[in-house]
Structure formats: C-alpha cells, structure tokens
A and B are shown apart, each in its own frame.
Chain A
C-alpha cells in the first residue's frame, strides 16, 4: 500500500495595487513589471472565480482586452493559453508578453486604442492549508472527493502545479505513484480544464474512477 493522500485547500486575500492600464502598451508594462503573484491572480485565480459562470474568458487579461478594447483576436489568443501547460508563473508571464507583442507587430493600430474602463492590477496573498480529509485507497478517495470544497479540488488539480513545479495534478500523481494505477492517472491527467468548471471537473474525475472501479470488479 502506498502513502495516504491528505487533501489541502487554499484561500486568497486580494490586494489592490493602485496600478492600472488604459491601453495595450500600459497593459504590457504592467505585465512586465508586476509580481508573479499578480499574474497568478489574473490567470489561475480568474479561472477559479469564473468557474460557475462558464464565461469564455479564463483570465482577466483576455476579458479586459475583449470587453475594454474590443480586440477580439488578441482576446482569443490570450484565452487559448492552457494553464495546465505552465508549472511556473515566469513561463506564463513570458507567454502573455509574447502574445501581446506579436499582436502589436501584426496589428499596430490596436496599441492606439484606449479603453473607457481601465484594467486594474491586483495582487494576491495565497494561504495553503491542510484539511482533515485523508484517504488511503481509491474508493475512499472517490468518496472524499465528492465532499471536499471546490477550493480543495481547484488547489489539487490546477493550482498546486505552480507550487510543486510539476506538469501534473496532485490526483494523477498520487494515483500513479501510490496506487500504481497509471491508466486511470493518465485519463484524469487528460481532462481538459478549459471546458469544465470546477464542479464539472470534480464530477468528471469521479466518473473516471467509477468506470475504473466497475471495470476491475470482474
């Protein structure tokens, strides 16, 4: 038997920076000079906060570029960033800068547009903590997953990769390494986080586990 899985969760305190942008040049300046935790807030946290609204904008930059500047192509490119592919904020920040600069080279007019409502830069303090939920096997993991908070699901599936530096979610890592069920771990790893909200994500994982448990009964 492998090691137990103890569920963690996270919470955040939002900080106002007083910094804002009215155009793409200013936005680029903010992204280049802001803290990594600001980037985290406007990307990873935005994904969390919009989860039940099913907004197409999975990050605040894309949302403002679309609604504030009406730069739809750039908004789509920013939206298409897959957070699963980033295990460091530094890399994510670099990708945001690259996309905006490339857009500026292709559409220089877009940098002359000014929004009525500015983009407000936030920062964030994250708190990560243990919950009292502990599981040892797949069945109890599945039952506990059903009852943990969405913050805990979010932490393990999306956020933790920026803490662990791994290109993976905690659930797949544990199922593969401790339970030795690589097939199930892969199937969970392959879930597209951009098409599910957090509740949908939870249900999808539970369904994959149920299918596995059913297939191993016989």
Chain B
C-alpha cells in the first residue's frame, strides 16, 4: 500500500484544512498514541489504521500500532462476541469468558502501555485495561460495532471492563449503549486517495465494464455489497424490475464471496433465481474484488444503491457520494447519517420506494446531479480521513484538559 503524505491531501480537501490540522497538531505537541487491535490485515479497522497511523506520525504525534497475539480458539470466541454484541442470541459458557480473559492477561503482560493515549479497538482486546490498575496515561475504547442492543449476558461481562476506560468512542449515537464514562462520536471515514476512491481515467472505467461484459448502452443501476440478506440484494432485483417498466436500464450487482459466511451462497442463489435469465441483470461475484475495479463500477454507474435493511455504517455510501453519484440507501444503521433524504441522496424503506427512487433519479438527471454534488460535499465535511485525523487531535487536546470547560481557547 502506498504511504501518503499529509500534503497529498491538500488538493483534495484544500490547503486551508491541512493548515488548520497542522496548527492543531502544534497545540498537541509531542504526545504519543498506541493503537491496539486484533489484526494487521482484513477488515475496515486494520485498513483505517494502516492509513491513519503514518499520517499521525507525520504530524508529530508518535503513534504505534500493536496487535494482540492469540490462538484460533480466542478468535472463534471473539467472533461470536462480535455477533452477540450486535444482538445475536447466544449463550456463553464460563470457560469461553475464561479463555478471553486469559488471552487478554497474557497480552497485557507483554505489551508496553507507555504512550500518552492508549486506543483499544473493538471487543477483542477490551479487557487489557483490567491489568493496568496504576496507569497514569489515558485509555480510550474505540468501538466500531453496533452496541445498541447487545447480548445481555455478554454485555454484563464486558461492561465493567469498558467502564474502566477514560472514554469510549462510537461511530454513531444509534450504536452507543448507556455507559458511565464519557462517549464521543467519530464517524468512520474513507481515504479519498486510495485505489477504491481516487480519480480514474474514463478509458479505464470503460475497460472495466467491457472486461466483465456489461454494455453501457443504457443507464446502469449498481449495488456493491456482500450477498447478505441484510443488504437485501433480492429486494434490489425486485425494485429494478419494477422500475424498468418505466425506464430502460441495467442492473449490476457486485459482491465479494465471504469465505466465513455459508449463508452468502444461499442468498446468491436466491438473487439468481429472482433475476431469472434477464439479460439486463449482471451479477458478479469476486473473491476478492480489486479496489480499482470497484471504484470503476461506482464511477461508471448512473445510480448507486445500498438498499440495506439492517446495517453497520455502510461506508460504501460515502464512497459513492464522494464520486458524486446519486445514491439510494435503505434507512438503516449509519446510512441516514450519510444520506440526508432529498439533499444528499434518497432514503427508502421498501422495494416499492426503491423502485420509485430509481425512476426518479434516472428520469430527472438534474436532481440526480444535485444530490451527487451535495453528497460529495457532505463526505468532504464529515467522512474523510482528514476529518478523523482532526478528531484524534481534538481528543488528545480534550483529554489533557479533563473537560472542565465546553470551550477551550488554545494558546
């Protein structure tokens, strides 16, 4: 992965934004951060850390990233934790909690926690704090998952550990539980310069559509998402078929094969059955997909859909909005934070609503263009990596001052 400099972002976000980041960094001074999570590869958290850690270092914040070491059994348990914290009914045995704690204790003894700010990501290393009673630095728990309806048994086990932290950070108010510690909101963010989002040559975009045999003879409606029931790909096909009675178009469904999700095969079969032999419906399955090709599919589409019924944050919405595409999103999870209905895209609640939205956007191109432009601005304001850098700097500044005042004059 290319390591980028903060200056590379000047052209994207504007020199004024980078200048102000530099000013804030100068107020933070020579402080240090240690990020701790459970993996260097795979998943959005690792992807984000790969990008943000070098940028924080460039700004003079000495930032290290360390990963906990654990056996497969631990990760099997924490995967179940992940699902249970997002509401899946599971009953845990005592030995599962014991395995989790033993692994955290072992790592707590091996890791140096000498940075000014320790940021623990997600539940896997959350109990590390338990073995750091006499810490003098600040500890933050950054939760990237939806904790609005956590499994009661698991939450009762984890909560006492979480409430030892100085603060917790969530992606949205709707994801956060009640806690006795301060909570902050950090929206997830996309990197405008990575392969998934950077500008592409029109000829490359064209070549990708040709490569996969998708004619660009009529408008293309695209959903890029795993074949997962909560992303409602079957509903997307149904909405497309209803819309096409009024406007000629193609549907493109693009999804990665999830190795750990046996259900995805079943959903894919359902999608294919719903599509039948319709020549205007193109279903692609990757294992894994290539970032620049996903970028090209988004840029070459006339409308992007993310018709989720249940959702995490769905940064695919921000990716599409960043490319100035008109987006139709299901009103679930973090999607309404990105799509302000009628201003930065269209929110839908049903197959019928999605169908109507497709017709509206394909037939009213001026409106579609305006939504795309507004969406781009909304992402620029809230969902770019530079905004996340700013949030980390402000977090460091606020922890220094113990929040005695709601307005802090930096001098």
B287 contacts chain A at the CB level, 8 A cutoff: no
- A54–B174 alpha-carbon span in the complex (Å): 25
Inter-chain contact B182/A149, CB cutoff 8 Å: no
Question: A14-B185, A35-B406, A127-B24 are known contacts. Are A53 and B391 too (CB-CB below 8 A)?
Answer: no
B179 interface neighbour in A18, A52, A130, Cβ under 8 Å = A18
Interface residue stretch chosen among B12-20, B60-68, B266-274: B12-20
B398 contacts chain A at the CB level, 8 A cutoff: yes
Q: How many A-B residue pairs have CB under 8 A?
A: 103
A163 contacts chain B at the CB level, 8 A cutoff: yes
Inter-chain contact A120/B174, CB cutoff 8 Å: yes
Inter-chain contact B410/A129, CB cutoff 8 Å: yes
Q: Which residue of A lies closest to B14 (CB)?
A: A149
**Which size bracket describes the interface of B in this complex?**
35 or more
B408 contacts chain A at the CB level, 8 A cutoff: yes
- A residues near B390, Cβ cutoff 8 Å: 11
- A151–B179 alpha-carbon span in the complex (Å): 32
Question: A13-B391, A16-B184, A18-B183 are known contacts. Are A125 and B408 too (CB-CB below 8 A)?
Answer: yes
B131 contacts chain A at the CB level, 8 A cutoff: no
A53-68 CB mask vs B (1 if < 8 Å, else 0) is 1110000000000010
Q: Which residue of A lies closest to B331 (CB)?
A: A117
Inter-chain contact B343/A53, CB cutoff 8 Å: yes
Inter-chain contact B394/A16, CB cutoff 8 Å: no
Distance to closest chain B CB from A20 (angstroms):
8
B377 interface neighbour in A15, A52, A131, A152, Cβ under 8 Å = A52
Inter-chain contact A53/B20, CB cutoff 8 Å: no
- A163–B407 alpha-carbon span in the complex (Å): 9
Distance to closest chain A CB from B194 (angstroms):
24
Inter-chain contact A151/B20, CB cutoff 8 Å: yes
Question: Which residues B1-17 have CB closer than 8 A to chain A?
Answer: 14, 16-17
A135 contacts chain B at the CB level, 8 A cutoff: no
Question: Which residues B66-113 have CB closer than 8 A to chain A?
Answer: none
**Which size bracket describes the interface of A in this complex?**
35 or more
Interface centre among A40, A52, A67 (most CB of B within 10 A): A52
Distance to closest chain B CB from A22 (angstroms):
13
B201 contacts chain A at the CB level, 8 A cutoff: no
Inter-chain contact A11/B340, CB cutoff 8 Å: no
A131 interface neighbour in B23, B341, B343, Cβ under 8 Å = B23
A127 interface neighbour in B14, B176, B183, B408, Cβ under 8 Å = B408
Q: Helix, strand, loop or mixed for chain A's interface?
A: strand
Question: A12-B394, A16-B170, A147-B16 are known contacts. Are A53 and B179 too (CB-CB below 8 A)?
Answer: no
Inter-chain contact B395/A13, CB cutoff 8 Å: yes
B203 contacts chain A at the CB level, 8 A cutoff: no
Interface centre among A16, A40, A54, A126 (most CB of B within 10 A): A16
Inter-chain contact A53/B344, CB cutoff 8 Å: yes
Question: Which residues A124-151 have CB closer than 8 A to chain B?
Answer: 124-132, 147-151
B105-133 CB mask vs A (1 if < 8 Å, else 0) is 00000000000000000000000000000
Inter-chain contact A13/B407, CB cutoff 8 Å: no
Inter-chain contact B394/A13, CB cutoff 8 Å: yes
Q: Which residue of B lies closest to A120 (CB)?
A: B173
Interface centre among A9, A20, A129, A130 (most CB of B within 10 A): A129
Inter-chain contact B344/A130, CB cutoff 8 Å: no
A36 contacts chain B at the CB level, 8 A cutoff: yes
B381 contacts chain A at the CB level, 8 A cutoff: yes
Inter-chain contact B16/A11, CB cutoff 8 Å: no
Distance to closest chain A CB from B340 (angstroms):
6
- A residues near B17, Cβ cutoff 8 Å: 149
Distance to closest chain A CB from B25 (angstroms):
11
- B residues near A18, Cβ cutoff 8 Å: 176-179, 183
A204 contacts chain B at the CB level, 8 A cutoff: no
- A12–B382 alpha-carbon span in the complex (Å): 12
- A residues near B27, Cβ cutoff 8 Å: 129
Distance to closest chain B CB from A110 (angstroms):
22
* A interface, CB within 8 angstroms of B: 9, 11-18, 20, 35-37, 40, 49, 52-55, 67, 120, 122-132, 147-152, 163
* B interface, CB within 8 angstroms of A: 14, 16-17, 19-20, 23-24, 27, 170, 173-174, 176-179, 182-185, 340-341, 343-344, 374, 377-378, 381-382, 390-391, 394-395, 397-398, 403, 406-411
CB<8 Å pairs between A and B, sample of 24: A11-B20, A11-B24, A12-B394, A15-B182, A15-B183, A16-B176, A37-B407, A49-B381, A49-B382, A120-B174, A123-B406, A125-B398, A126-B406, A126-B408, A127-B397, A127-B408, A128-B408, A129-B24, A129-B411, A131-B19, A132-B19, A147-B16, A149-B20, A163-B407
Known: A13-B394, A18-B178, A132-B19. 12 other contacts (CB 8 A): A15-B185, A16-B185, A20-B173, A53-B344, A54-B343, A120-B173, A125-B406, A125-B407, A128-B407, A130-B410, A132-B23, A148-B16
